[in-house]
Every structure is written in structure tokens, then in C-alpha cells.
Structure 1
Amino acid sequence: MREVVLIIIYNHQYNKNIEILEQIYKDRFSNIYHLVPFYTGEKKNVIPVYECSYHFQGYVSQGFKSYFKEEYKHYFFVADDLILNPVINEINYTQHLKLNPETSFLPEIIGLHQRKDFWTHVVGAFKWNVNLPGVEAKNQLPDYDVALQLFEKFGLEIKPLKYLHIFKQKEFPGLSKIKKFKSYFLWKRRLYKNKNREFHLSYPLVSAYSDIFVISAESIKKFSHYCGVFASTKLFVEVAVPTSLVLSSSEIVTEKDLKLQGKALWTKEQFQILDKYEERLNLLLNYFPENHLYFHPIKLSKWNTEL
């Protein structure tokens, strides 16, 4: 048995993608599982999960007993719309990701106070309450001071948030010029009055792009547990996954430590890098850029998936 398992996470029930992804990865990974919402089919390696996609860290927890084996050294999670560089397989993944048996991987770790632009999930993290009614979760996490020590071990600071982290700059569509000017003036005045105000998190939290992560055997049980706690208390996944990893890991590698760099595509201009592949999956896999760790998102429903 190989020492790594590939676990593919589906935000939605795209059952048609299961066989396509099996074809992509079957010659590279001997052990493959799929975490699929509300799956009712017969495939043995597809695990049904029941959680909102905004909290898909809960998939990790719900599927744990199905994909966990003592023999595995690492648990390699990827989104179903993320295409991993074809050069990476179960034999060489540790070299490409610079992993040892105690090391986990996440593309990045960003303090919430470090975010330059308004991100609605910073607001969610600020408002997050572990004491959610009906959920007895508080004692399932390390207490604040212990968590802070774990963050400090990785050189991570938890600083207060600023006004613009919590309150988005106002837009005033549809108003007359006079009303728009008045509204803008009032908003600027509130901003000035609150420019030195500090907003403190109730618990140490960080953020990260979380459509690919690799968890060591040493960390997987605690990581899975914390993911479940954060899912049950409705913390957004791109805060929950990195925070769970910091709380559970002894060593973490990020993309800044690697030669291969991931390519996340969000704008029309960024997507132009895919034009040369003509939405043909075989071309993407055969001519994948050597310097990229992955492309995301690749919506397979829009591609010719004949291999």
C-alpha cells in the first residue's frame, strides 16, 4: 500500500466528475476517495457528506473514519475543480512539496489583519462565536492562550482588525449627486472617527486559500476534529482549514517554500492563460506548465474531457 491517499472534495454533487477525476489520477495515486455531498450511489470509494459548501471542512470530519488508515503518511486533499500538475504522484509528492512525515502543506497562511482589501469572511471571523446555541464546542478547542502559543510557534501574529476590515467602503448607486456627496461625506466622517478603533477577535484565527492541502498522519486526527468543531459553529472554510492546521501541526510548508507555484484564476485576464488549451483536458494534462503546482478552477463541465 502506498503511503498517501488522495481525497477529492466536491462542493456540489457533480457525480459525472467522479469517473473523469478517476481517469486523471488513477495512474498517479493508488488510493483515491471522493467526498461528495448527498451521494447515494454504489461506488465504494465515494463517501457521502452532509454539510454546506461554505463549511466544507466538515466534509473532512464526516469522512474521516472512511478514508483513515494507519498506514498512510499523508492525506492529500484537492478540490474537484482543481487540476494538479500531472508530474506529481504518490511516489514523488514529498519531494515536490518538501514534506517529511511530520510536515503538512497549505498554499499560504494570512493573518486576518494583513488583508489589504475588504473580505466579507473577515467580518464573519470577527462575529464568529464558538458558543453557538445548540453546539457545545468551546471545550473542543485549545483555550485562547494555548492557541496563541501554537500560532506564535509558526511566527503568526494575531493583531486587532481595523475599521475597514469590518465595514466595507460604501457605494451609493442610484442617488442624486447631492445625496451621493452627502452620504459619502457622512461615511468618511465615520471612517475618520473610527480610524484608530481596534476590533479584537474572540479566538486566534487565520485565513488561506484552501482548495488544496496535505495533512500529515501525525496531525490528521486533531485536524479533522477541529475542522468538525469549526464546521458545526459555521466558520468559513478558508478560515477554518488554516486555523485547524495551525492548531494541529508541528511543521507546515507553504508555497513560498516551493519551486512549483499554484495558479488560482479569478479574473478574465487570468483565465487567458488557459486559451491555448482550447478547453480540451488532454491538452492541459499533456502540456501543463512545468512551474505551476495546480490550476484552479477548472470547471470540467465546460471542457472536452476525452483523454
Structure 2
Amino acid sequence: MKEVALVIIFNHNYTANIKPLTLLYGNRFKNIFFVIPFYNGNLPNVINVFEKSCFFQGYISSALNQIKKEGFKYYLIIGDDVFLNPSIEETNFKNFFNVNEDTAFIPGPFLLSDPSETRPSRPYAPYWNSIADAQKFDVIQFGFHSEKYLPSKSEAKMLLNRHGFDFSYKIPRRMFFPKPMIRFKEGIRHNLQGIKLLLKNIPNLVYPKPLKYPLIGSYSDVIVISAKHQENFISYSGAFAALNLFVELALPTSIAFAYPKIVSEIDTKYKGETYWYYSHNECEKKYKKSLLYLTENFPIDTLYVHPIKLSKWK
């Protein structure tokens, strides 16, 4: 079997990124696939998809279903605006992500009802924007027989519990109070966002709507999965795409259902460096919008830097 495929997900049809990404990773990975929505070119390593980017778990299911016949042991899946540690390549990636055939890596899986959780993508912790997506989600939807493709509620809860996620359908009121709401050093834009979130969540501060199906969340722009359990993963993530579940709920939940063990950044020496919403400019200033400068000054013990908008960087 081949060791690993690097699968790069494009949220949008920005094919200009193919060339710089090939230059960036071509000498580190023998097998690179680009997954691009509404692609109309003829490159053999580009996989055409049609789902919305907010459900890009469907991109991944479609891509893996096409390339699984090539016999890869692992898939390292990243967004096109993720800059991997320059030392990561196909002979050593398992050491960086601490994976084996029975594990999957995802940066920071968390329970939606845990107010103490502050892993990546939660700048307003304990509040998380996509809790609302989880509250309105239901596996019972017209035109799709979810019971054929997803675990029952009781089975789903058991599958989450085996990873240490003591799932509860109830969400505490304090999950909807973004704190600290006021951060003087972040500027007006950030603080206005915090106030808007507070106003938006007034109904949930009175009575939080319970969840209808067991789910977990996680930042999902970098994952590693093995082929050993890929069939279940492909089915679960494809089903969640058909049901329009937001990707940062769908991917971590699919991984938890399909794989016996999850590893995250708390289980690795290397951590991701992420910049959210109000802090994109901080990333660009720190690395001078230069891929060469970032490569030469890549921070020690860092897995990746995100986001790096290739269209804006030299």
C-alpha cells in the first residue's frame, strides 16, 4: 500500500492556488490531490465536487470514495489556506500527528455542553457560533433515510462516550454568554461582535434549546485519518453533508463514530497556530505576508499556521 495522500480542500473555485501549493508540498508528498468545487479543468489530480463549502465533509467523502482504490494507508487532509510545518512530509507525518491505523487526528474536539472548553476556534469561549447549528439539526429530514447511514441516538451517544465525551442533550445557559465580552486590546470590531453575540443569544439565556442528536464540535481544517476505518467515516460524513450539518460538527462527530481512538493537539508535542476573525492582520504582520519568511521563521513546536491566504502573500 502507499503510505499517505495529501488531500487539499478548496472552499471556493480558486484554481490559481494549485500551482503555489504544488510548489510548496510537491517535494514532500508524492501523492497530492486537490478537491475543488465546480472545477472544469483537466488536471488528473483534481477532484471536482459540488457541495457548499460550509458542508465540506461532503467534499472529503466524495474525494476519498474516488481515491481509496489507489490503496493509501492514510489521508492527511488540510484546507488550502493551511500552512503545514515545513518539516512535515510523508515519511514522518505520523510522528507529528501521533496517529496509527486505529486513530484519527482532529485539532480540538469538544463537548457542546462544556463551558470550560477553550480549544481552537472558540475566541468567545465558552460560546461557540455553531452551537446554533447543532440546536436546529435533526437527523429526521424529508427525502433522506438517515437511519440507514447514521447510528441511532443511543448508539451515537455510546460512540461518543467511548472517547470520554459524556454527551448531554441539555446545554447550560452559560454556554451562550461570550466572555470576556469586552477585550480592550482587541479593538472596537471585536467588542461589537461580542455584544452582537450576547444580544443574539438572549433567547438561549432564558431557555437553551436542547440538542436533538449527539454531536461534538471541533476546528476541522486539519485532519488525519487511516484507511482502516475509512468506509464508515465516508458514509457518516457523506450522510451529514446530505443533512446540511455544519462541517465543524459533522467531521469531528464522524471521526468519533468511525475511529476507535481520537488524538488531538493536547496529545501531540506540536500545536496549531490559528488566527480568528479580528486577528487575521496579526498573522500577516507577524510573517510579513511572505511564504519564504514564514518558512524560514516557522515557529518551533507548531503543526500549522492558519489562515494563509495565498492570493495575498508573496
Deviation at 1:64, TM superposition (A): 2.3
Q: What secondary structure, in the 3-state scheme, does the structure 2 residue paired with 1:301 have? A: coil
Provide closer, same or farther for how the CA distance between residues 166 and 266 of structure 1 changes in structure 2, counting only shifts above 3 A: closer
The answer for the alignment partner of 2:56 in structure 1 is: 56
Residues 2 and 86 of structure 1: is their aligned pair in 2 closer, same or farther, counting only changes over 3 Å? Answer: farther
- Deviation, structure 1 residue 100: 1.6
> Which structure 2 residues correspond to residues 231-246 of structure 1 after superposition, within 5 A?
231-246=241-256
User: What is the DSSP-based 3-state SS (H/G/I as helix, E as strand, rest coil) of the residue aligned with 2:20?
Assistant: helix
SS of 2:72's equivalent in the other structure is coil
* Dislocated runs of 4+, deviation >6 Å: 166-169
List gaps (5 residues or longer) in structure 1: 170-183
SS at match of 1:19: helix
**Partners in 2 of 1:133 and 1:165 — Cα distance?**
31
Residue 300 of structure 2 is matched in structure 1 by 290
TM-score by length of 1: 0.86
RMSD: 2.4
Secondary structure at 1:61's aligned position in 2? helix
Normalising by structure 2, what TM-score?
A: 0.84
> Taking structure 1 as reference, are residues 167 and 232 closer, same or farther at Cα in structure 2, changes over 3 Å only?
farther
The aligned residue for residue 288 of structure 2 is: 278
Q: What are the residue-to-residue correspondences of 1:1-307 with 2, within 5 Å?
A: 2-69=2-69, 71-115=71-115, 116-159=125-168, 160-163=170-173, 165=175, 194=206, 199-266=209-276, 268-269=278-279, 271-304=281-314
Q: Give the structure with higher Rg (CA).
A: 1
Structure-2 residue corresponding to 1:181: none
| Matched position secondary structure for 2:311 | helix
Q: Are the equivalent residues in 2 in contact too, given 1:123–1:166 (CA < 8 A)? A: no
Structure 1 residue 200, shift from structure 2 partner: 2.8
Identity of aligned residues (%): 38
Please report how far the alpha carbon of residue 122 of structure 1 lies from its aligned counterpart in structure 2 after TM superposition.
0.8
- How far did residue 166 of structure 1 move? 6.5
Q: Which is further off, 277-286 or 110-119?
A: 110-119
What residue number does 2:185 align with? none
Report the secondary structure of 1:78's partner residue: strand
Q: 1:167 to 1:95 in 2, by over 3 A?
A: closer
Cα gap change, 1:278/1:67 in structure 2, threshold over 3 Å: closer, same or farther? Answer: same
Displacement after TM superposition at 1:49 (Å)? 0.4
Shift in Å at residue 152 of structure 1? 1.0
